[in-house]
Amino acid sequence: MKINLFKSLFFFASFVISLDAYPQQMIDKNTENYLNLYVDYINAGIHGVKFYHKKFEQFNQSLNKYYGEAPFSKADRLSYEGKKGVSLKFESPSVMSDPSAFTVLPEDLYYRISGFAATSLTGEQVQLLQSRVTETRTILKEIMNISANLESYCMDGAYLEDASLEVAYKYLNRAEILLHDFSESKDLLYYEIRKIQNQFLPQSVNNPDTRAYNKLLTFVLYARNVLISMKKEDKNGVFEQLPLMETALSDLRQNETVYLQGVKNPQLVEQYETTMRKAEVFLKITKDYIENPFIEPKYNAYGLAYYNFNNYFLNNYNRYGAGLINDFNRFVEISEMPLLKLPEEVHWLKILPKPFRQDLPVVKPEDPVVVKRDTLKIVITEDPETPEKSEEPLPIAVKDSLAPEPAVSPETPSIIAGAAPVNMVLLLDVSGSMQKPYKLPLLKNSFKNLLGLLRDYDQVSIVVYSGNARVALGSTICSDKKKIMEALEMLETSGKSDVLKGIKLAYKVAQNNYLKNGNNRIILATDGGIDLGEELKKLIIENSNNYDVYLSVFYYEEQEFIGKAEKLKGIAQIGKGNYAYINTENADQMMIKEVNSVRAK
């Protein structure tokens, strides 16, 4: 998925544009209505996706129960279902075409956007917005298609012949990725909307509607920061927003008369007060989350943040529960001023891997196709009966990367008995320069080989960074190797790199999944170009000394450039990890060395 700029460039203070490059004019109501149509489409999509999220989550739970109990053959499953009175079911929601669920159906909003004339915008700006909204719409359609396919998979009884229920888990894992991508896509679309709006002269701060809007906005931004921190499972980040929200809410209460002075529309005054009351509710549930954390037992496997994010916070933030954003956007609609609405937040989907079963059927794997380019030349003999042959290498045999388990050659060293349990975070530089075959693709292949040796209880996470950083795969135990491999396959390169953001996030992920007496290790895979500034140095030293989270650095490049190598060695040294220049000959061995670096106690 593309880089999420929105999280770092969200509103006024974080986005700077030279107004000299654009017309010095105020934004008109017509243009603002056009921009708000895009926000309406975002929020309609989020409202619809909520229902799909719930269906995916419920199906994941019933699928895990079925997989954990049901036999593997079709005949035995039919007998089991007859005795238990159960079967695998999935009912796809039809909410996206249900007029009772929307003021305007999402598809109708999409076509309304296409027919809207915003005369203040350039053709290039309109084209960019259209491109972004089409991307968002494409993701929505795939979510709907996956839902329909799951319904057919169950209704047609295809699951009865799918011994490992692999198809169902593949659909669910794809749904998890799509909900994340939808969140990223709507952020990018809103970033472009905000960027366009900032090209106009700002509204006068003396206008009463604008003044009240900005004061409400201050609290809403803090509320959104709470949601962002929760999704990162960063409880400290949530805690940091509490005093900010308390101050903002106190200001809204105490200075209400001042902020509403001059507002002529009594409905707008009432809506200000309604929004403020929703802010009070949001503050309360944030305090409860910090002081009196609660989770339903059936959500224990998902975690506290996941449960609260989906079941409490979004219901008090999104439209579905007539939450904070719903009332804030209603304020915008009532106002005569050209003000911009805010997007809601997408529900967070975690797919729990299938449970472990000791009675798995033994299936003989296909012999792996192992072909090396340097051994493919055909020898030309002097035998006159031998046909003439070219010395060009034969094509490499390629298999579906998601089908077989990765092969490990007999020469590859194995994990030493007594190696500590592994909590490994792959921190991958996915900037544009990493796309060459001897960089990110080599990393993917070497790690796939390592997966064949990691133990079922070892755990792996993937953090990627370019212009920003994100968790591409939450901590996953290695019994679910397919999920890890799929996450690796989905990785793409683009943009420039910001290693500081990546390392910060990687340490958070490592600490959240910390294994006592385990091998808690980050592997930074990069092609170099990293300067060890004071902030980065302090961060690495603190984590390696105080938290026993070690940082190793793998250098991927066509050749080992001394200048870059020395910098990377320095980072590995203070991170109490290892440094390695990686090539096709040593990639597998260096991966395994990392796993063997800490002995079990």
Tell me, yes or no, whether 328 lies in a domain. Answer: yes
Residues 167, 240: one domain?
no
Among 336, 365, 400, give the residue marking a domain's end.
336
Q: 3-class SS at 6?
A: coil
Q: Quick one: pLDDT at residue 23?
A: 47
Residues 481, 544: one domain?
yes
435 Cβ contact partners less than 8 Å away, ≥ 6 residues apart: 441, 493
pLDDT at position 197 over 70: yes
Greater pLDDT, 222 or 442: 222
pLDDT at position 407 over 50: no
Residue 495's pLDDT band (boundaries 50, 70, 90)?
A: low
Strand 422-429 relative to strand 519-526, pairing: parallel
247 Cβ contact partners less than 8 Å away, ≥ 6 residues apart: none
Q: Quick one: pLDDT at residue 312?
A: 93
Residues 219, 236: one domain?
yes
One-letter identity of residue 258:
V
Residues 181, 35: one domain?
yes
pLDDT, mean of residues 88-92: 95
Residue 380: how many CB atoms within 10 A of its CB?
A: 12
Tell me, yes or no, whether 368 lies in a domain. Answer: no
Sole residue written with tokens 């340097």: 374
Burial class of 324 by CB neighbour count within 10 A (0 to 12, 13 to 18, 19+): buried
Sheet order of strands, 469-477 included: 469-477, 459-465, 422-429, 519-526, 550-556, 576-582
Distance between CA 594 and CA 416 in Å, rounded?
11
Find the distance separating the first CA and the last CA of the chain, reported in whole Å.
Answer: 40
pLDDT at position 563 over 80: no
Among 153, 185, 203, give the residue marking a domain's end.
203
What phi and psi values does residue 555 have, to the nearest 5 degrees? Answer: -100, 115
Lowest mean pLDDT among 128-142, 181-195, 234-248, 405-419: 405-419
Distance between CA 37 and CA 345 in Å, rounded?
17
Residue 382's pLDDT band (boundaries 50, 70, 90)?
A: very low
Residues 488, 585: one domain?
yes
Q: Which long-range contacts (CB under 8 A, 24 or more apart) does 541-547 make?
A: 541/574, 543/507, 543/510, 543/511, 543/575, 544/574, 544/575, 544/576, 544/577, 545/576, 547/507, 547/511, 547/514, 547/520
pLDDT at position 584 over 50: yes
pLDDT at position 128 over 80: yes
Residue 75: how many CB atoms within 10 A of its CB?
A: 9
Task: Give the DSSP letter string of 361-386.
Answer: PP-PPPPP----GGG-PPPPPS-TTS
Q: Quick one: pLDDT at residue 447?
A: 79
Residue 496's pLDDT band (boundaries 50, 70, 90)?
A: low
pLDDT, mean of residues 539-559: 86
Burial class of 296 by CB neighbour count within 10 A (0 to 12, 13 to 18, 19+): exposed
Among 203, 223, 256, give the residue marking a domain's end.
203
Tell me, yes or no, whether 6 lies in a domain. Answer: yes
pLDDT digits (tens, 9 = 90+) for 57-76: 999 999 999 999 999 999 99
Residues 116, 138: one domain?
yes
Tell me, yes or no, whether 369 lies in a domain. Answer: no
Q: How many CA atoms lie within 13 A of 575 on its CB side?
A: 27
Residue 438's pLDDT band (boundaries 50, 70, 90)?
A: confident
Residues 73, 167: one domain?
yes
Burial class of 1 by CB neighbour count within 10 A (0 to 12, 13 to 18, 19+): buried
Q: Quick one: pLDDT at residue 415?
A: 57
Lowest mean pLDDT among 24-38, 120-134, 204-218, 414-428: 414-428
pLDDT, mean of residues 194-203: 86
Residues 446, 573: one domain?
yes
Q: Quick one: pLDDT at residue 161?
A: 94
Task: Give the DSSP letter string of 529-543.
Answer: -----HHHHHHHHHH
Q: Which long-range contacts (CB under 8 A, 24 or more apart) does 130-135 make?
A: 132/185, 132/188, 132/189, 132/192, 133/38, 133/41, 133/189, 135/185, 135/188, 135/189
Tell me, yes or no, whether 395 lies in a domain. Answer: no
pLDDT at position 9 over 80: no
Q: Quick one: pLDDT at residue 362?
A: 56
pLDDT, mean of residues 320-332: 91
pLDDT at position 413 over 80: no
pLDDT, mean of residues 156-184: 93
pLDDT digits (tens, 9 = 90+) for 456-488: 888 999 998 876 788 889 999 888 888 888 888
Residues 139, 33: one domain?
yes
- Across the chain, what does the average pLDDT equal? 83
Sole residue written with tokens 């894992």: 173
Distance between CA 258 and CA 256 in Å, rounded?
5
Distance between CA 155 and CA 158 in Å, rounded?
8
The enclosing domain of 540 has a CATH number of 3.40.50.410
Cα separations (Å) of 200 from 27, 253, 498? 6, 31, 30
Q: Quick one: pLDDT at residue 372?
A: 33
Residue 149's pLDDT band (boundaries 50, 70, 90)?
A: very high
Tell me, yes or no, whether 525 lies in a domain. Answer: yes
Residues 435, 309: one domain?
no
Greater pLDDT, 311 or 393: 311
Burial class of 226 by CB neighbour count within 10 A (0 to 12, 13 to 18, 19+): buried
Distance between CA 308 and CA 294 in Å, rounded?
8
Q: Quick one: pLDDT at residue 386?
A: 33
Could you tell me if 15 and 194 are in contact, meaning their C-beta atoms sit under 8 angstroms apart?
Answer: yes
pLDDT at position 16 over 60: no
Q: What sign does the dihedral 51-343-172-301 (CA atoms) show?
A: negative
Distance between CA 107 and CA 534 in Å, rounded?
51
Tell me, yes or no, whether 332 lies in a domain. Answer: yes
pLDDT at position 392 over 90: no
Tell me, yes or no, whether 472 lies in a domain. Answer: yes
Q: Quick one: pLDDT at residue 106?
A: 93
pLDDT at position 218 over 80: yes
Q: Quick one: pLDDT at residue 78?
A: 95
Q: Quick one: pLDDT at residue 590?
A: 81
Lowest mean pLDDT among 176-190, 248-262, 530-544: 530-544
Q: Quick one: pLDDT at residue 323?
A: 93
Residue 361's pLDDT band (boundaries 50, 70, 90)?
A: low
Residues 67, 176: one domain?
yes
pLDDT, mean of residues 239-254: 96
Residues 451, 487: one domain?
yes
Q: How many domains does the chain have?
A: 3
Identify the domain containing residue 71 by its residue range: 1-203
Q: What number of H helices and E strands is found in the chain?
A: 17, 6
pLDDT, mean of residues 249-264: 94
